[in-house]
Amino acid sequence: MTVYSPTAVILGAGFSYVAGLPLAKDLFDCEFFVPSKAAKRRFAAVLQSWRAWQSMHGERGPEQFLTEIYESPKIGPVPWSWATEMVAAVLGTPLRHDRGPFQTRYAGRITRPVNVPQHNTFWDVVLSRFSIAGVLTTNYDLLAERGLRHRPMQRPERPGFHYGGLSRPQILKGTALPFSVVKAERDIELVGTIPLYKLHGSLNWGLRKGVLSLYQDCRPAFRYGGDAQIVPPVFEKDAPSWLAAVWKEARQTLASCSTWIVCGYSMPHYDHSITRLFIDAAKDGILTDIILLDPNSQMLLERWNVLIPGTKVHALPGLPEGLRSLVTY
């Protein structure tokens, strides 16, 4: 029997971009769901401020704009909470094929399998050829969850996931069919074997009165002015204290793995905390190989070699082209 070395999978924005979600640079240039008239006014104010700011700052992007608001929440062009709410709404808006019979805020649920051929092939290859110890992602969306499935499945074969760093049991609130008299609200438990570390939070995590609740959908992005627990893309961002356990376990998982598969993560310069996480985990662990799946993998190759010297870095194309090379490892 072949024994595979322990492997960590790291998913960045490029992984979700393949499915149709925007990159950070396009956050304010795409269509998204507006849940109320009040939200519409807030979003209009954010967009107006963004356009005015962009006209004065040329090539600088949404990350810099959000950073300016974050660092000066009382004197910035719009409140930080409005900007965060809009980011969550943009990324929480379900893709067209995910809406089905559900209202927009309840669509794209964790219990629905992902309908992205590139993702399905990615998980087929990764799960069959590597021993996955954990999956880390900087993304807020639910695509990784839906690819791994909320419980073990046979067709296609998936091990299921649970959220690494959060206490268990993990019960997700949801609605079988919203506003139906016949099918009432029901809960599911995450019983999968692979820990999924959401390093910047998740659109289905809601915080009310100090209590973190988990949902099957992205409804926290669209209620109460947006109470989804996420860390938007800003420069110099650090993980908040409520994510400390997630980061601690993620570092331990990285250190326990000899191979890292990095898919669609461009190592943006504002992710200083993530960079430190990788460096520290590699220094304390058994890492020997890093496999990059990215359209710009050749450009990223040098940066990884500088950050983590002495490790073999393999540069492969992005999805789906890179999967043909991945099967040879």
Residue 76: the pLDDT is: 67
Residue 255: the pLDDT is: 98
Domains of the chain (ranges; CATH) run 6-21+112-165+192-206+228-326 (3.40.50.1220), 24-99 (no CATH)
The answer to whether residues 81 and 71 touch, using CB atoms and an 8 Å cutoff, is no
Positive/negative CA dihedral, 292, 297, 300, 304: positive
Residue 185: the pLDDT is: 56
- Model pLDDT for residues 276-299, shown as the tens digit of each residue: 999 999 999 999 999 999 999 999
Residue for token pair 């074997």: 193
pTM recorded for the entire structure:
0.94
Residue 182: the pLDDT is: 46
* Integer Cα distance of 82 and 171 in angstroms: 29
Residue 119: the pLDDT is: 96
Residue 236: the pLDDT is: 59
Pairing of β 228-230 and β 185-189: unpaired
Task: For the chain, list residues with pLDDT below 70.
Answer: 1-4, 73-76, 100-101, 176-185, 235-238
Residue 16: the pLDDT is: 97
Residue 3: the pLDDT is: 46
Residue 75: the pLDDT is: 58
* Integer Cα distance of 84 and 230 in angstroms: 8
Q: Is 251 helix (H, G, I), strand (E, B) or coil?
A: helix
Number of C-beta neighbours around residue 174 at 10 A: 20
- Model pLDDT for residues 98-148, shown as the tens digit of each residue: 776 678 888 888 999 988 999 999 999 999 999 999 999 999 999 999 999
Number of C-beta neighbours around residue 223 at 10 A: 15
Residue 68: the pLDDT is: 87
Of 11, 222, 211, 190, the closest CA to residue 110 belongs to 190
